Structure 1
Amino acid sequence: MAQLKEISVGFTFTKNLGNYQSLRVDAGLVVSLAPGDNPQTVYAEAWQTAKQQVKQGIDAVKGEVF
């Protein structure tokens, strides 16, 4: 059986700003698994981290005019 060594997650948020403009915020992570790690737990933690990074990116540009 193949051994799982890395988990990759990505999260993207796109918002239509009107007038043919949009804002897109991306976050992606590649996590290496250590011996004994539970892949589902590592995936859930990585997913939460990616979502949090996107939220921080959205918060950073709130109120800015492009």
Structure 2
Amino acid sequence: MPTGDSRFVDRLTLETLDRDIFSGTCHAGAPLRAYGGQIAAQALMAAGMTVDDIDRQVHSLHGYFLR
């Protein structure tokens, strides 16, 4: 049985579809819905995957809730 940690990491794992194009998964218990924090985490992972230089890591993430 998967642990909570492994399920969390599975949610952040992205599939590379093309150069700079990635696909992620969402929670199986809520089809067609995603938690905003998960989307932000996947976006951060995708951004990091577009950079080849190991010395250039993401150092900040900002999110805004606009109306």
**After TM superposition, is the score higher than 0.5?**
no
Bigger Rg over Cα:
1
**Greater relative contact order, per chain length (Cα 8 Å cut-off, separation 6+):** 1
Counting strand residues as a fraction of each chain, which structure ranks higher? 1
Q: Compute the TM-score of the two structures, normalised by the length of structure 1.
A: 0.36
Q: Compute the TM-score of the two structures, normalised by the length of structure 2.
A: 0.36
